[in-house]
Amino acid sequence: MLTALEFTQVPPGEQAFRAEIRDFLRTSLADYPAHKRARSWMGSSPEFSRALAGRGWLGLTIPAEYGGSGKGYFPRFVLSEELLAAGAPVAAHWIADRQSAPLILRFGTPAQREFYIPRICRAEAFFCIGMSEPNSGSDLASIRTRAQRNEQGWMLQGSKIWTTNAHECHYMIALVRTSGESSDRQKGLSQLIIDLSLPGVTVRPILDMAGDAHFSEVFFDNVQLSADALVGVEGQGWDQVNAELAFERSGPERVYSSVALLDCWMQMLREAAIDDPATIELVGTLVGEIAVLRALSLSVTRKLVDGESPAVEASVVKDFGTDFEQRLIRQIGEWLATHPDVDVPGELLRTLGYLEQMGATFSLRGGTREILRGIIARGLGLR
Ligand SMILES: Cc1cc2nc3c(=O)[nH]c(=O)nc-3n(C[C@H](O)[C@H](O)[C@H](O)COP(=O)(O)OP(=O)(O)OC[C@H]3O[C@@H](n4cnc5c(N)ncnc54)[C@H](O)[C@@H]3O)c2cc1C
């Protein structure tokens, strides 16, 4: 039986990996400035993803027969944490490694596993998530993109929106309607793997408030998919998506999105020798919160290791984590506003400026705060 402390710590044997990762990041990201680090897992560099793959650091949860290392979820947690703390540009492979490969491993056919997963582990196949559509975000069961069976496989018609990194991806795993009507809600939905280079697919990047194009609209105009595009069981897409969301919502990326700002601010405090009690208390509170959130995220990792699908617990991590990520931006901004005599480095202001633009998205992407709280309430038997 694990004690509460053991339940929320990375097992000691996994910690050696941390030093190896730090060494690599120290050299590979030596001149990478804080405002770019603040892009966190939205920052993209296919070359960097390939460098990680070259070290065998993609597919840590994937068995060796499919090109992974089979090391497991705790090493993956340690790697994710170090990459996020360093603000490494991981977007190109992030979704494929986090959820597409585990999804295909769990629900895919042997042929799909053999085709896609080794390429994910080599950073040769990047994936995006096609869930949201215009007018179907929180109300995901109302999606209207439809795939109709025909002799060659599936004919796809519709569109997706806010698809993170679609313009850099080779494939999308999309939730689409394969039978029934929108009024059938969760019934009749399926997951398909869509090759984004097929005729009839148009990917149009959307500029965000900070001027970056990290997500896209994707249009499907009579796209012919082969029969083996279906992942898992036709009509079971809703349950499969919910299993996938536990991977999406529970990781350290829901805690560390603003950590580049915290590091930058603490460096300024050290250099300017600012150590008044109120500032020390704020630093202690923020660092203490990270420790608690990290423990929560780790406890969900433990459940994933045990083969569970902790959807409610993952929602708790994401809700608390994104609240912290957003509050951190506000609190450091308020600190700067109330210390007008401090000489603030330009890089700190650039980082704060970026995060002030982007912070609002943290509690939208991956499911909004209200939707998560609804899931938590249902899990607690309150609705
Ligand atoms: C940076 C970013 C990246 C994203 N990446 C992806 C991606 O890769 N793939 C993808 O599929 N989607 C992606 N999304 C889309 C995201 O999942 C949706 O924006 C989100 O689910 C909300 O949907 P919506 O925008 O349609 O808002 P709406 O669903 O219209 O919600 C608007 C507001 O109403 C509230 N609301 C809605 N329904 C209820 C309810 N029943 N009870 C209480 N309140 C409610 C919501 O909480 C929200 O505050 C991304 C979004 C962002 C911001």
Tens digit of pLDDT per residue, the chain (383 long)? 667 667 678 888 878 899 999 999 999 999 999 999 999 999 999 999 999 999 999 999 999 999 999 999 999 999 999 999 999 999 999 999 999 999 999 999 999 999 999 999 999 999 999 999 999 999 999 999 999 999 999 999 999 999 999 999 999 999 999 999 888 999 999 999 999 999 999 999 999 999 999 999 999 999 999 999 999 999 999 999 988 888 888 889 999 999 999 999 999 999 999 999 999 999 999 999 999 999 999 999 888 888 888 889 999 999 999 999 999 999 999 999 999 999 999 999 999 999 999 999 999 999 999 999 999 999 999 98
- In CATH terms, is domain 251-379 a member of 3.40.50.10710? no
* Residue ranges of the chain assigned to CATH 1.10.540.10: 4-125
- pLDDT on residue 96: 98
Q: Which of 165, 326, 368 best tests ligand 1's pocket when mutated (most atoms within 8 Å of CB)?
A: 368
| Closest ligand 1 atom, residue 358 Cα | 1
Separation in Å, CA 361 to CA 323, 351, 356: 11, 16, 10
Q: Is the CB of 164 under 6 A from ligand 1?
A: yes
Measure 368 CA to ligand 1 centroid, in angstroms. Answer: 5
Q: How far is the CA of 293 from the centre of ligand 1 (A)?
A: 23
Query: Do 252 and 81 touch, CB atoms closer than 8 A?
Result: yes
Report residue 111 as tokens. Answer: 């042929």
Is the shortest distance between the CB of 6 and ligand 1 below 6 Å?
Answer: no
In the chain, the N- to C-terminal Cα span, in Å, equals: 32
Please give the pLDDT value at position 5: 66
Q: Which residues contact 256 (CB under 8 A, 6 or more apart)?
A: 40, 81, 84, 85, 290, 325
The pLDDT value recorded for residue 242 is: 87
Regarding the beta carbon of 299 and ligand 1, being less than 6 Å apart is answered: no
Instruction: Quote the ligand 1 centre to 199 CA distance (angstroms).
Output: 29
| 249 touches 367 (CB < 8 A) | yes
CATH 1.20.140.10 spans which residues of the chain?
251-379
Distance CA 145, CA 172 (A): 13
Distance (Å, rounded) from C-alpha 268 to C-alpha 274? 8
- pLDDT at residue 92 in the model: 98
Residues of the chain with CATH 2.40.110.10: 128-236
Assign domain 4-125 to its CATH superfamily. Acyl-CoA dehydrogenase/oxidase, N-terminal domain (1.10.540.10)
Cα–Cα distance, 108 to 100 (Å, whole number): 10
Q: Is the CB of 216 under 6 A from ligand 1?
A: no
**Is the domain covering 128-236 a CATH 2.40.110.10 domain?**
yes
